[in-house]
Amino acid sequence: MHNVPMPADAFCSYCLRPRTDTGPLVASPLATICRQCAAGAVKLIDAAPRQADLSGPSTPWDSLTDDDLLSRLPDVAEAGEQVERHLRTWVDAARQRGLSWASIGEALGMTRQSAWERFTRPEPQEQSTLNVKPSKTSAPRQR
């Protein structure tokens, strides 16, 4: 099994510290986690009741105030950008193996052309640090 190299600017999805601070990260397709956060997560899981209370807060935002919820949105957006960068790393690895754009596109449920266009463009972070793209269509109308 091959390790896919992690981007140099990778960071922990939980504490948002860069890999240069956290040390090694473990990555899934959706997130990365550092040793410290993984250890904290294990403690939380160990402390949780064996029988999960499904009537309690089930999402991270249930217990947040409106301001706290809004203040977390940039973190979530940044995590999305990290996922995109991670996907690009995997696609790069597939290309380095000589896999075709057609096979990559098929794996992602898109056409060869769509895959090529999506992954040969500059990374979003090079276009905008916040990845806020000006919309070519008009903004949705208020109801």
Does 25 help bind Zn ion (rule: CB under 5 A)? no
Q: How far is the CB of 32 from Zn ion (least distance, A)?
A: 8
Q: Is 94 left (phi over 0), alpha (psi -120 to 50) or beta?
A: alpha
Both structure tokens of 26: 């473990």
Q: How far is the CB of 137 from Zn ion (least distance, A)?
A: 38
Under 8 Å between Cβ of 26 and 4: no
Residue whose CB is less far from Zn ion, 12 or 94: 12
Residue whose CB is less far from Zn ion, 37 or 91: 37
Show contacts with Zn ion in window 48-107 (CB under 5 A): none
Residue whose CB is less far from Zn ion, 14 or 101: 14
- What is the helix, strand, coil percentage profile of the chain, to 5? 50, 5, 45
With CB under 5 A as the contact rule, the residue among 15, 93, 108, 110 that binds Zn ion is 15
Residue 82: which residues within 8 A CB-CB, separation 6 or more? 10, 11, 13, 31, 32
Residue whose CB is less far from Zn ion, 17 or 95: 17
**How many whole angstroms from its chain centre is CA 62?**
22
**How far is it, in rounded angstroms, from Cα 25 to Cα 18?**
10
With CB under 5 A as the contact rule, the residue among 10, 27, 37, 104 that binds Zn ion is 37
Does 14 help bind Zn ion (rule: CB under 5 A)? yes
Residue whose CB is less far from Zn ion, 26 or 99: 26
Does 34 help bind Zn ion (rule: CB under 5 A)? yes
Q: Which residue is nearest to Zn ion (CB)?
A: 12
**Which amino acid is present at 141?**
R
Q: Which residues bind Zn ion (CB under 5 A)?
A: 12, 14-15, 34, 37
